[in-house]
Structure 1
Amino acid sequence: MMLLDADIHQRWADDKAIVQYLPERYKDDGIVAPELLYRNPGGFLKQDEVSEGGGKPGSDTQKIVEDHLDKHDIDYGMFTGNSWFNLGALPNRDYANELARAYNEWLIDECLSVDERFLGSMYIAPKAPKKGAELIREYGSHPQIRQVMLPGGAEVPYGRPQYWPLYEAAEEMNLAIAIHPFSEGHGTSNPPTGAGHPNSYIEWHTLLGTYYMGQLTSMVTEGVFVEYPDLRLALIEGGYGWLPHFMWRLDKNWKGLRSQVPWLEKKPSHYIRKNVWFASQPIEEPEEPEQHNQILDMMHADEILIFASDYPHWDGDDPMWGLPPMEDEMERAVMYENAMELWDLPADPTDLN
Structure 2
Amino acid sequence: MNQASNVNEATIREPLGIIDTDVHQSPKRKQDLLPYLPKVWHEQYLTYGSGLANVFPTPIGVSRKDATPEGGGPAGSDPHFMLKHHVEHYGIDYAILTGGSEASFALHPDLDYASAVIRAYNDHTVENWLTVDPRFKGSIAVNVSDPEEAVKEIERLGDHPDMVQIIVCSGVRAPYGQRFYHPIYEAAERYGLPIAFHPGTEGKMYPPTPVGYPTRYMEWHNIIPLTFMAHVNSLVCEGVFEKFPGLKFVGIEGGVAWLPHLMWRMDKNYKALRSQTPWLKRLPSEYIKEHIRLTTQPIEEPERPGEFLQILQMIDAEKTIMYSSDYPHWDFDNPKVVLPPMPRELKARILAGTAAELYGLPLKKTGKAEVNS
Structure 2 residue aligned with 1:18? 33
Counterparts of 1:15 and 1:281, CA distance in 2: 28
Paired with 2:171 and 2:131, the residues of 1 have a C-alpha distance of 30
Letter matched to residue 294 of structure 1: Q
TM-score normalised by L of structure 1: 0.96
State the match for 1:186 in structure 2.
204
Deviates more, 1:98-107 or 1:19-28: 19-28
- Aligned to 1:112, which of 130, 135, 145? 130
SS at match of 2:44: coil
Partner of 2:105: 87
Q: What amino acid sits opposite 1:255 in the alignment? A: K
Residue 277 in structure 1 maps to residue 290 in structure 2: no
Counterpart of 2:314? 298
Residue 253 of structure 1 pairs with residue 278 of structure 2: no
State the shift of 1:20 in Å. Answer: 2.1
Is the 8 Å Cα contact of residues 23 and 98 (structure 1) preserved in structure 2? Answer: yes
Q: Distance in 2 between matches of 1:211 and 1:84?
A: 19
> 1:8·1:310 contact (CA, 8 Å) conserved in 2?
yes
Could you say if the C-alpha distance between residues 200 and 18 of structure 1 is closer, same or farther in structure 2, counting changes exceeding 3 Å?
same
Contiguous gaps of at least 5 residues in structure 2? 1-15, 366-373
Correspondence 1:98 to 2:78: no
Structure 1 Cα separation of the partners of residues 150 and 101 of structure 2: 19
User: Could you tell me whether the CA contact under 8 Å between 1:302 and 1:334 is conserved in 2?
Assistant: yes
* TM-aligned CA deviation for residue 246 of structure 1: 0.7
AA at the equivalent of 1:20: P
Listed one character per residue, the Cα deviations across residues 60-110 of structure 1 (whole Å, up to 9, x for unaligned) are: 111110111111111111000114751222111111111111011001001
User: Is the partner of 1:71 in helix, strand or coil?
Assistant: coil
Q: 1:232 aligns with which of 248, 251, 260?
A: 248
Residue 71 of structure 2 is matched in structure 1 by 53
Q: Tell me the number of residue pairs that the alignment of Structure 1 and Structure 2 aligns.
A: 347
1:168 to 177, 180, 186: 186
In the alignment, does 2:216 pair up with 1:200?
Answer: yes
**Structure whose alpha-carbon radius of gyration is higher:** 2
1:211-250 per-residue CA deviation (whole Å, 9 max, x = no partner) reads: 1111111111111111100001100000110000110000
CA distance in 1, matches of 2:318, 2:257: 14
1:286 aligns with 2:302: yes
SS, match of residue 106 in structure 2: helix
1:35–1:86 contact (8 Å) kept in structure 2: no
* Post-superposition offset of 1:35: 4.2
Equivalent-residue separation in structure 2 for 1:314 and 1:102 (angstroms): 27
Quick one: structure 1 residues 348 and 69, their matched pair in 2 at CA, closer, same or farther if it must change by over 3 Å? same
RMSD: 1.3
- In structure 2, distance between residues paired with 1:136 and 1:253: 36
* Cα distance, 1:58–1:135 mapped onto 2, change above 3 Å: same
Q: Secondary structure at the match of 2:22?
A: strand
Q: Which amino acid aligns with 1:36?
A: N
Q: Deviations over 1:2-55 (max 9, x none)?
A: 110000011111011222211122122125211431011111111111112321
Is the partner of 1:311 in helix, strand or coil? coil
SS at match of 2:54: coil
Q: Give the aligned partner of residue 140 of structure 1.
A: 158
TM-score (norm 2): 0.91
1:338 corresponds to 2:354:
yes
Aligned equivalents of 2:109 and 2:258: distance in 1? 32
Q: Distance in 2 between matches of 1:36 and 1:147?
A: 27
Tell me the residue number matched to 1:323: 339
User: Which secondary structure does the structure 1 equivalent of 2:36 belong to?
Assistant: coil
Match for residue 127 of structure 1? 145
For 2:80 and 2:343, locate their aligned partners in 1 and report how far apart those are by CA, in whole Å.
34
Q: Find the residue that maps to 1:132 and give its secondary structure.
A: helix
User: One-letter code of the match for 1:129?
Assistant: P
Determine the C-alpha separation between the residues in 1 that align with 2:112 and 2:143.
9
Letter in 1 for 2:105: L
Tell me, yes or no, if the aligned pair for 2:166 and 2:194 is still in contact at 8 Å: yes
Give the conservation status (yes or no) of the 8 Å contact 1:20–1:27: no
Give the residue type in structure 2 aligned to 1:77.
A
| Corresponding position: 1:76 with 2:89 | no
> 1:314, CA displacement in angstroms?
2.0
Distance 2:307 2:102 in 1: 34
Q: Percent identity?
A: 40
Tell me, which stretches of 5 or more residues in structure 1 are unaligned?
none
CA distance in 1 between counterparts of 2:192 and 2:345 reads: 27
SS of the residue corresponding to residue 20 of structure 2 reads: strand
Work out the CA distance in 1 between the residues paired with 2:133 and 2:53.
Answer: 30
Match of 1:6 in 2: 21
Which deviations, in whole Å up to 9, do the C-alpha atoms of 1:231-277 show, x marking residues without a partner? 01100000110000110000101111110000001011111111110
CA distance in 2, matches of 1:164, 1:348: 36
Instruction: Report if the CA contact (8 A) 1:309-1:318 is conserved.
Output: yes
Asked if the contact 1:83–1:181 (Cα under 8 Å) also holds between the matched residues in 2, the reply is no
